[in-house]
Amino acid sequence: MGQVQSRLTISPTPTKLAWMMHLRMLTTMHGLCEVRQCSKRWKNLCPQTKNLQKCQMSSAGSSEMLQVTVDDKSGIATMTMCRPPVNSLNLEFLTQINIALEKLENSKDCSGLIITSKIPKIFCAGLDIMEMYQPNVDRLQEFWRTLQEMYIRLYGSQLITAAAINGASPAGGCLMAMSCDYRVMAPGYKIGLNETQLGIVAPFWFQDLIINTMGFRQSEMALQLGTLFTSEEALNLGMVDKIVPQEQVMETAIQEIHKWKKIPGFARQITKSALRKPSIDKLHSKREEDIANFRDFITKDSIQKTLGMYIESLKKKAK
């Protein structure tokens, strides 16, 4: 990391200052001050751990949603999602993820990142549907901006990133996994962009990401049908790179990052940047428009009705 001379521009809009103000506003609004402190005092927080710098990121008074550890020896960070029941991505959770991503990106001790889940059988259920149902419009827009930020940070990361997909990974969960460099998945789960099945539409940057991952023809079918693929189907399509038994998912991701680390970092990073920059720049240039489109779409009566029915069907199924 110390030798990197050129980095992807992570976030020209909003500017760094605006981003800091955005974080400050969120921390004040949602009691995330511990997270900011944690983020600042990354190393000092856990002096008792010898090999691991452990940062338990938790919002004040609530359970731990995101555990981030960095292995001193290998420089591989693990970000473990733990937001019961299904790791759905709400504004606060996304904010914590973004803060952690920013911290890891700027850490000279970190060269790789694995994203995984602590919730049995679930990687990530995608966006928290309750953020989109009967929303407060200001929060809804902030929510979408924060999701855009996560994608920009993760897809544009200079780190070697791997998703250790140890459970179901629909919609936003699939976006998160596809934003990584490598995906290892356990058998017997589903992954895909199922938005149309909910009566909603994956925005252009979700679409670009899946096209970049598995080509146009397969993507246009998958996106229109909202297909959730089995692990095996996803492997055949190139949506995931390897399937291993559940208990080997993490170890396989670690081994894969070690393999990638043998490639000269500067050459790998410039190559990654060149390949991914056009998609990231496209989102940057249309960011405000995309937020407005999302707001206008989600707040339509017909979409609210459809989301309400989907939430009911999930609740019925859960009983």
Ligand X SMILES: CCCC/C=C/CC(=O)SCCNC(=O)CCNC(=O)[C@H](O)C(C)(C)COP(=O)(O)OP(=O)(O)OC[C@H]1O[C@@H](n2cnc3c(N)ncnc32)[C@H](O)[C@@H]1OP(=O)(O)O
Q: Are strands 229-230 and 190-192 parallel, antiparallel or unpaired?
A: antiparallel
194 scored as a contact of ligand X (CB under 6 A): yes
Residue 162 CB, shortest distance to ligand X, in Å, is 21
Give 256 or 290: the residue with its C-beta nearer to ligand X.
290
Catalytic residue among 167, 172, 192, 226: 172
Q: Is 193 a catalytic residue?
A: no
Q: How far is the CB of 119 from ligand X (least distance, A)?
A: 9
8 A C-beta contact, residue 155 and residue 279: yes
As given in the structure block, the two tokens for residue 46 are 């856990």
Is residue 185 a contact partner of residue 240, using CB atoms and an 8 Å limit? yes
Give residues 216-275 in contact with ligand X (rule: CB under 6 A).
Answer: none
- Within 278-297, the residues that bind ligand X by CB under 6 A are 294, 297
Is the Cα dihedral 69, 71, 77, 78 positive or negative?
negative
Whether the Cβ atoms of residue 53 and residue 46 lie closer than 8 Å to each other: yes
CB burial class (10 A; 0-12, 13-18, 19+) of residue 242?
A: middle
Q: Which listed range, 23-31, 52-60, 62-70, 197-205, lies at the site for ligand X (CB under 6 A)?
A: 197-205
Q: Is 195 among the catalytic positions? A: yes
The reply to whether 175 belongs to the active site is: no
Residue 312 known to be catalytic:
no
Size of the site for ligand X (CB under 6 A): 27
Cα 130 from chain centroid (whole Å): 18
**DSSP SS3 for 308:** helix
Q: Tell me which of 128, 149, 181, 290 binds ligand X, using CB under 6 A.
A: 128
Looking at the Cβ atoms of 112 and 126, the one nearer to ligand X is 126
- Tell me which of 195, 208, 256, 290 binds ligand X, using CB under 6 A: 195
What residues does 57 pair with on adjacent strands?
A: 66
> Rule CB under 6 A: which of 8-47 touch ligand X?
none
Stretch of 75-83, 178-186, 201-209, 284-292 contacting ligand X, by CB under 6 A: 201-209
Q: Which stretch binds ligand X (CB under 6 A): 38-46, 99-107, 127-135, 262-270?
A: 127-135
Does 126 contact ligand X by CB under 6 A? yes
Residue 168: burial class (beta carbons within 10 Å; 0-12, 13-18, 19+): buried
Task: For residue 59, give the DSSP letter.
Answer: -
**Beta strands 66-71; 52-57: pairing state:** antiparallel
Residues facing 71 on adjacent strands: 52
Is 168 a binding residue for ligand X by CB under 6 A? The answer is yes
- Applying CB under 6 A, the residues found at the interface with ligand X are 85-86, 88, 122, 125-130, 168, 170-172, 194-195, 198, 200-203, 294, 297, 314-315, 317-318
**Catalytic residue positions, numbered:** 127, 172, 194-195
